[in-house]
Structures are given as structure tokens and as C-alpha cells.
Chain A
């Protein structure tokens, strides 16, 4: 009864995610949050009260509840986050001498509504590393277990001290970014709590539900938040309270800054049907860059809606962090994300566009398709980087989608490839985020390599099939928690192909893909010489002087890496004749022999450029005769640059 009444009450104030074809067996809301938060800018604190209704969605009774207290990652240098990151994250080092730099969350009270006080049962637990100093996961024990299908309503009072902007959240001057800020219940998944500590290289995981949040801030502040604003009132003490609500989301973030300039624009498209309000909170220092944000967000909405499914929420909010708080930039939350720019950033450096499209895209990959970022980060970062590369190429040009400064150009795809080519090969893509050897390996694998893996898959399956794979995956798993296995199964079912061999290598092995043409030979076929049936046969000197009537040509393809991928080989002869071969790629090498009237010109493995994961494309082809123009051109360029440098710095 309690559950029914509370659900009805909450839903009355929340905004449905819109109408689209429901996914198979959509889960009901497991969590329902109602939060009141008051920002106290002077002390950089948030005073909060939270009512949480949590439903036991499992088939077993649950004797304890686990909560994320993410802000405690910034409490001291003994937290797992600080220990793993050596005090810095996302390029920003914590200023340890400044008391204001630290952040924390205190749960002042927690109890069952109209029932037992659970505060005495509070305890910090460390399920990942046993670090007793880490306080980012809290456990409470109700007096009796929560039975399957039953809900429990909790009242929680808490205080947050925001850190100086670090790792997605915090303050910078008058700018506040409240992210991962409230006590958030973990996910009861496969019969156990999936509630990981806050790690240096991990993101998040949470259940879908409904949120209704009241944010009170001094009147001069411009406030933006997840979801649709359903109320706003001025208070007698000079503050203003904003009420936001949204259903079908798994997180809630908000921001406040007196220097934001707020603007709103409508985005509508007909196929598929999308109608949403774009809200821009751009810092006054960056107003000159606003047009870039607007254009990129329109492109993101259009691209993702067209390729994966219509954007279902009534709002999307872009937050431009204040200068000096860049550590909060480039992060996604449901219906709200932070982008980043600089007042004087040239138009040819497409960083704001890329970040805007990428972070908006996370509204799909993790925002709606709620995979476990702690354990399988590629499912959101890799899939989203794949989507971003495609969107950037479509809107800004395939060869200049990241940098377009006259003759200096770089594509987003090349950027991803260069990272993979030059990066170490220590980890597979699929690994728990904190198990990677370091932040570089985490980024290289879950962003760059996973992106290339999907682009490779697209070239292997074909554009149309891959589009269907992605649409099906989105439709099937939106507002649910898919795993890597679910993605693989979807890809196999839609394509009708066995792709296990592909994912087993690309996802689970740290090795490399590198096929090459190691040698090409083309020699004239000699006239018969020697003893034949006891008779000596000699070559006629006149015939030997004539051009050869036939050539014996040989191509050897080799596998330099451990990954085994089937290969196509193109062999081109001097007369333009082409022969296409296939090789299963299993052995370490394969020889192809031809006899014909013409010499061989060159051989090329993977001539269609399917295997974007191949770490060396230069060795994919081999000419019979060298043609050194390209290397000479590059060497001349390098030498000329050196000569200019000499005259610049000395006589």
C-alpha cells in the first residue's frame, strides 16, 4: 500500500520520458528519489534531505542496503580514489594545502519512514579493495530483511561539502557543479549488491527510477538541473527554490552560477519524431562560443535520434563550466551534460563540438542504455566514441573532424587510431575499470580501441547491418542494464553471423592485430634447361635475349600479431590485371603463386581497409619496384623544417 501511494504521488510530479515503442519487458522504477537541497555558497556546502523508496527487484530477501557516498572520495588522501590517482584526476591536481579543496558527504541521519532509526547501523564497507580508509560505500541494516517485490522508504539527512573542482564535480569561484552528490543506493544485481567504491578511473552504475528534486540557492544564482523544471518560487530569505522532476533516469546533477547566461531553443524533427527543449547555460566569459554549442547539440540530437532512436526526454541541458573549473567539463548526466571551451578557441579546433556531441551521446549510451560503467566501461565510452566519430565525420568532414586549420587537419578517426597504434598493449578492453594498469591504458582501451573495434565491425558487417545492430541494441536495452554478452548476442542475432571469434579477441585479449605483405617476387619463367629423359636441353641464346613470355610471381602474406582475423588480399599485375584472394589468417604466413604474362606490380592485404584495429597499415602493401617519392617528400619536409629552425634560433 505504502509503495502504491508513494509511487502515485511521485509520478504525479514527474515527467514521462516520452512515447516510443516500449522495449521488451521494461523494468518498473526500482528507485524513487525525492530530495530537497540547499546550496550554501559561503561554506561550499549543500544541506540535503532525501526520501528514497527502493524496491527489492530480486527473488531473495535483502538484509542490508548499500549506498554510494561518492563525495567521500575527496575527503582525504587515503581514499581509494586519491590513492589510485595520486591526488589528481582529469588533469587537475587537488590542492592539499587548501582546506576548501577537500570534499565529503556526511550522512547525519538515516531511518525508515515512520519506523526504525538506522543511523546506528551505518558502516563503511570496501567491497573492491578492502581499503579501510575509504568511505565511498555505506551499509545500513534494516531491522528485518526487505522481501522480494517489497519496497522500503527511507528518510536521509545529509551534508555535502563540495571540493574544489576535481573529477567532474565541485566548485570554482561562484560556479558549483553538484554531481555524485547525494546518498545513492547501489544496484542489486544478480542477487548481490553491485555497489563499487569510487575509483580513479571508474564511472558509475545505478538503477532507473524517478527523481523529484528541490534546489534552493541564493536569488542571484542561475540554476540548471536534470529533468524538466516544474516549479520555481522565491523565498523570504532571498533564495529561490527550483523544482525539477524526471522519470526513467538513473542519476541527478545540478549546477548553479551567477555568471551563467541561460537561453532556450526548441529542437524538433519529424523522422523520427523528436520535440525537446535545448537549455544552454553558458558562462558569460564564453558567450562568443555559444553558437558552436547550439550547432553541435542540434547535430547530436539529429544524429543520435536518426541512427539509434528518438531522443525521448522533454529537455536537454548543456552546461558550460566556468573558466578555472574545467575539471567539471566533459561529463554526462541524464538530460544534462557539461561541455567545455575557451573564449579564444579558434573555430578550426573542434573541441567544443566533439565534447558536446560526445557528452550528449552519453544520454543514449549509459543515460538510457544503462550498462555498468564500473565493470564494462567500453559499453558506454567505446560505443559512444564510435558514435561520436561517425557524427563528427558526417557534420565536419571525414578528414578534418577534429582539427581544421587550413593545411593542418586531423580527423577524429585518425586521432583514435594514432592512440591505439602508439599505445601500450597491457590490458584487454573488457576489464573492471580499476584493474587497468593505469589511466592511460583505461582510456586507450575503453575509448579508442573499443571505438575502432566497433568501426571495424561496421566495415565487416556493412553499414546497413551495423545500423540495425545498433538500433536493435538501443531499442532492446534502453532503460535496462545490458552487459557485453547482451551486445554480442544482439550483434549476432541481427547480423546472422557468428561473431564470437571477433569479440573474444578484440574484447578480451590485449594482443594486437597486424597482418602484412612480407615479400613479393616476380621472375621470368626460364626455358627448359638440363637433362630431360637423358638428353641435354640447352637454351637458345637468341630466345634468352627476348622478353620473357611468362613470369612466376609469388606473394607472401604474414601474421605479425596474435589476433586471427580473415583477410582479403589484392594482387595487381603490371598490365592492370587484378586477382583477389582470401586467407583465413590462421597460420603465421601464406604464400600465393601465379604464372602469367605480366610481372606483378604490388600486393595489398585488407585492400578495403576493413580492419581498423590493424596497428600498422604501412606494411599492408608491398610494391615489386620501390617508388620512393613519398618518403622523399616527407624527408624533404622534415629537413626543410629543420633548416627553418636553424635560421630562427641562431645566425
Chain B
């Protein structure tokens, strides 16, 4: 085991050295970033893009001389998209590989399983996934969006288009419920009315009864927040097959899925902190770099992989500000640093969460997403008042 590890390390180092002239003298032991991620299970569809984003960031950083003159390497472990797998993955990374930081996009259950382990092992942890909010740990920072940031753009748009009666459909899990609970509060605050709120288990695939209720409820807009992948697709397919054509906002669809659904997805409103169509030089460079590095293997970046890319840079900034990789110093520096990436300027300055620019998109008939509007610097709200 030990031998294998040093071999792996040697290879990484060799490749790092090959691409860069030389690292500064002094401490040249690599900084290791642990990435526990769902290579199998529910997240396995999006995980490859997340790993690519991490690899790109690390390559770029190494090419520019590393962090504090030290090379950076990655240790990936499968969390099987669940709690039990995450325990194994975090134990491996924190106690066996002794990583310097954990940066990853995961399911909420996997994140929750990991938090006690990073706390026990005293590592900094950047969670780069959007989620339902209010997960707090002194060791954890979040640079994805929370309901307070994602829901308002779509609701505002639907209200502006004249919708009054909203119907909410979700998968029965923490994210689905969290998003729709916030949506209900927000819509009612803004004078809209909720005419129905229904959930189907995550593995359910027959939406018939819910769709019948939707039809008879007299709704003039529907907002859905399902689990990614299968439930999202089955719901959209069956919604379209039953001939329902009221405005439809989907809080859980990513560009890739929208594209795969083809014509069924046309007209869906989505809200995200990242869309490939964002027209900034940072995003163009990011896309080009991905294309160059991975070629045909490139996975389309999305609202989960792009924050992961930026999180690596945020960690770099924090270490450089702190002047060390010591956990307490890095944790102290993390809320103070910022990085201008594909999504714009990001800083995890609000209770370990990040104010973000949000984009409202509309899926076109060919599956591409058009940016309809943007909302700069949306506040994440009161996530962790104790931090």
C-alpha cells in the first residue's frame, strides 16, 4: 500500500515537474486536495465533470508555480453518492491519505457523513454543490447556491408574466422539500397563491396522480424540484405527454439533462449561478481550457462542476493569504478571500456561504439554454448565524 502510494505520488510529481519549470525552493511536498465524489450511485452522472474541473484547476495552478511554491495534487475517492460510502471515502482521504483540504460536490447525505470526519481530522472543507441550505460546521465553507438565491429569479419571472396560482411538485428528499418550502414562503410573500404541493418518492416514476391533481387545481404555473436525473426526466416526459402547457420552472434541471430531453424540455425556466452561455472572458477561457485539456472526453461544465473549479482557487487564495496550510489559519482566511471565475466574483463571506450572481435561463427548442436575465450579488440569507 505504502509503496503504491509513493509511486502514485511520484508519477504525479513527475507530471507536475514536466509542465512547470521549477517549484520554489524550500518545502516542496505537495499539497493534496481530497475529492470524495459520487463515482457510483446517483451522482455518477455529474461526477466526471466535477473531477475534470478539479483537474483543470490543479493543472493551471501547478503550471503557474503551485501554492506557496508547493505543487498540488488530487486524491479522488468514490463516496457511492451516499452516507456509508462517504464514511469510507472520508476516512481514506482524511486519515490514510492525510489530505490538506477536502473540496467536493456531493449529495447532502454524503456531506453530512463527511462533516464529523473532517472535524475529527481537523481539515478545512469546501462544499461546492448547491443544496437546500442550513448545513453548518466551523470547518465547512460553501460556494454553491441555496434556495434564498435560486428561487427568487424564477418566481419573479413567473409573477411578472402574470402567473398567480402556483403548483409545486417535488421529489421526497431534503433538497426537493427544502427548495419548495422556500418557494412556497416566497410566493406567498409576493402575493401569489399555492394551489397544490405534491411529492413523489425519489425512486417513483409514475407521476399520473400528481399530474391529474395539477390539471384540476387550476394552476397557471408549475415549479418542480425533483432529484436530478431520472425523476426529473420522467416527470417532464409525463407532464408533456399529458398535454400540460402552462409555464414550467424547473429548479433541478441542468443544461445537460435539458439537452438530452430534447423537445420535451423546450420552454422550461431555470435559474442557476452558472450557465455555459454566460458571456464573460473568464467563462470563455474556462471553456476553452477544458476543451484543450480533455478534447473529446470533455464533459460540459455545469452548476456543480464550475463551483468546484472556483473552490480550488478559493482555497489557493486562502492558503496564500494565511501563508500556510494549517487548518485554523486557512479557515480564518477563507471568508476573506475572493476569486473571479466563470461565475463572476465569488467570496464565501456571508456565514460561510457565498453571495452569487444568479442567471435566469430558458430552454430553447434545440435544448440549449438562453440567458434571459441576470441578478448580481444575490444574498444567501441567514444560513449559519452562529458562525
Q: Is this pair of chains taken from one and the same complex?
A: no
Q: Which residues in B have some Cβ–Cβ distance to A below 8 Å?
A: none
